[in-house]
Structure 1
Amino acid sequence: MKNIAALQKAVTGTLPDTEPTPVELDALDIEMPLILAEVELLDAQIITLDRTPNELDARRIRRAHRKVLKARRALTTQATVGGTSGVGA
């Protein structure tokens, strides 16, 4: 069996330090409630993919959807009051 190996140098060299900046980490902290609410909604929707949703599933989805809307509203209000346009967009 013939061994196949790269005959050329790697196209991409070493990557620069790609740690998030403090500003990016702050933005993630601000958006984390919305991210978690969206994950909860997605989990509730995934549960119902392979079956007909029952009343408990429907309530779980509605509750998760309301939580997402509340988190979006809070994020929008915070961005408007704080003057940081573009957060959550």
Structure 2
Amino acid sequence: MDHIVTVQDAVTAFADFMEPTKAELDAIEQEMPVILAGVDLVDAQIIALDHAPNEVDRRRIRRARHRVLAARRELANRTAGTTGLSGGAA
């Protein structure tokens, strides 16, 4: 009979290393507006699946897509400003 303890030791041996680092958590925090906008878009699409899409559904999806694009643009502009590129026409 195999004891669960030996399996547990093998499974949890790297548990300390599986936690996200501070840098990874910071990256997730920076991307959170994009993630939330994407969730809103999926929610709008799910609502439209429930019935034949009407004009309100189309507007809801269109606005959610615009929020996703705006959040992505903001993230890209923020990360592009922190890369420290030298030269360039400013």
Please report the TM-score for the alignment, with normalisation by the length of structure 2. 0.76
Distance 1:51 1:68 in 2: 24
Map of 1:1-89 to 2, 5 A cutoff? 7=2, 9-10=6-7, 12-14=10-12, 15-17=14-16, 18-83=18-83
Distance 1:50 1:58 in 2: 13
Could you tell me which runs of 5 or more consecutive residues in structure 1 were left unpaired when the two chains were aligned.
1-5, 85-89
Structure 2 SS opposite 1:20 = coil
Question: Identity over the aligned pairs, expressed in percent?
Answer: 51
The aligned length equals 79
The alpha-carbon deviation at position 19 of structure 1 amounts to 2.3
Distance 1:50 1:13 in 2: 42
Please report the TM-score for the alignment, with normalisation by the length of structure 1. 0.77
User: Deviations for 1:16-40, whole angstroms, at most 9, x for unmatched residues?
Assistant: 2132211011101100000000000
